[in-house]
Amino acid sequence: MIIFLIYVSKFLLFTLLYYFTLFPFVLGISTVLFGPLGITIAVVHSMLHVNLYATSVTRVGCLGHAAAILEKLFTDKGTPKENIRRLHQPAYPVVLEKRNWTQSLSIFAAKTMAHFIIFSVLLCISLIPIIGIVLAKLLRSAPIGYDYYLIHLARRKALEKRGRDEFYREIGKFTAFGIVSGALELIPILSGITITSNFLGSGICVLEQSQSFENSSLSSI
């Protein structure tokens, strides 16, 4: 319930910001392309666009709540504690690489520029009436799927490098999960419920994967 309320608050906030920034532009494009029908298309597109941002922020902002929900659910179902602990992979200490300030600054500038370019490309694609939202979701399938698995990589602040390695090692799994979960997120308001169900799905996948790995290890002995 709390994840849904957080989603609704983000949706209302982004709706207000969207109305004063991007909506006039979207309305103009839709009216030119589709005539009077463009007004309806602009409204539908705007709701989908706002939902796109609201779901992205909610996914990352609700990791703590999602972890608590997963642990309570599996505890209530009588799942053994050792299995519940598998939901969180062990954390490793932070290893800080020694760099001089010029190297750190150049790396920071390169990362910032890369993020800006990616954001700009996705923003331009998402401005395409309605279908652009679907394309933007598909292009972000891997990051979306990875977002739902963040809670299973314990203490993310200590896992920046490990998280990056994990992303590329299992990018196929994250992409597949992201395509399905991203499709479920497309419908505004209902997304607040599907976000919770997607987190539950990722938890079930982690438990099944760890149990399968454990069984295969025992059988090989």
From residue 23, alpha-carbon distances to 28, 36, 50, 131 in Å are 8, 16, 10, 16
Please indicate whether residue 149 or residue 125 has the higher confidence score (pLDDT).
125
**pLDDT for the residue 10:** 93
**pLDDT for the residue 156:** 44
**pLDDT for the residue 120:** 92
**pLDDT for the residue 157:** 46
Please indicate whether residue 113 or residue 73 has the higher confidence score (pLDDT).
113
Q: Where are the domains of the chain?
A: 2-220
Q: Across the chain, what does the average pLDDT equal?
A: 80
Instruction: Using DSSP, state whether 153 is helix, strand or coil.
Output: strand
Please indicate whether residue 84 or residue 211 has the higher confidence score (pLDDT).
211
Residue 135 has pLDDT above 80, yes or no: yes
Residue 125 has pLDDT above 60, yes or no: yes
Task: For residue 130, give the amino acid letter.
Answer: I
CA-closest candidate to residue 53, choices 150, 124, 133: 133
Most confident among 85-99, 122-136, 151-165 (mean pLDDT): 122-136
pLDDT tens sequence across 11-60? 999 999 999 998 998 999 899 989 999 999 999 999 999 999 999 999 88
**pTM listed for this prediction:** 0.78
Please indicate whether residue 54 or residue 213 has the higher confidence score (pLDDT).
54
The mean pLDDT value for 104-130 works out to 88
CA dist 6 and 191 (Å) reads 11
CB 200 within 8 A of CB 69: yes
**pLDDT for the residue 138:** 93
**pLDDT for the residue 155:** 44
Percent above pLDDT 70 for the chain = 75
